[in-house]
């Protein structure tokens, strides 16, 4: 397993790919390897798949009170995935990183509790697979606006967003009552 660490406990990793003349096989989730190689005890309770067209932006989302750990990968297409540290007591609070996830690079992102995520779809068809350690709860769902002035993200106004995402508040207006 190749791995790269971002922030505290945020990893991008690749499981071994088994390839031959028929194609390839990759383990996207292996709880034993996560424990052994990354010291992550991840218990998957929900798996979700999102389909998006080119220029769609989904995010920035997080779940308050019952924050979610996630394992994210792209099974078709290519996305720029952004993750923000929203742990108030962290010395990297408010900072973000961006990585490219695609079906070609087969990178897998592990996000611990306390991060908000969002992604910009770069290919015509994109399938993003998520594994969650908590169930999604609509009442606890929260997020902040991609175009928050204090984030200084350089994104095109041509981005396609949901009405919900367009109506999200600015990052500095979000109350983050975490117990981290």
Please give the positions annotated as active site.
61, 130
Run of H or E residues at 88: none
Query: Given strand 57-63, what is the order of strands in its sheet?
Result: 96-102, 78-85, 115-121, 57-63, 141-143
CB atoms within 10 A of CB 82: 22
| Residues 74, 102 contacting (CB under 8 angstroms) | yes
């Amino acid at each position: 397993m190749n791995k790269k660490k971002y922030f505290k406990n945020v990893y991008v990793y690749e499981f071994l790919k088994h390839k031959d003349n028929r194609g390839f096989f990759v383990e996207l989730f292996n709880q034993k390897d996560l424990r052994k190689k990354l010291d992550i005890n991840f218990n998957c309770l929900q798996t979700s798949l999102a389909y998006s067209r080119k220029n769609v932006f989904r995010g920035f989302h997080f779940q308050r009170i019952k924050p979610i750990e996630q394992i994210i990968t792209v099974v078709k297409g290519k996305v720029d995935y952004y993750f923000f540290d929203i742990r108030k007591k962290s010395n990297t609070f408010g900072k973000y990183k961006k990585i490219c996830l695609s079906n070609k690079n087969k990178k897998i992102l592990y996000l611990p509790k306390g991060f908000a995520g969002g992604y910009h779809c770069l290919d015509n068809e994109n399938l993003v697979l998520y594994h969650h350690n908590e169930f999604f709860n609509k009442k606890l769902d929260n997020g902040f606006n991609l175009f928050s002035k204090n984030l200084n993200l350089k994104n095109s106004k041509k981005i396609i967003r949901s009405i919900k995402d367009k109506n999200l508040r600015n990052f500095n207006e979000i109350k983050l009552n975490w117990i981290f």
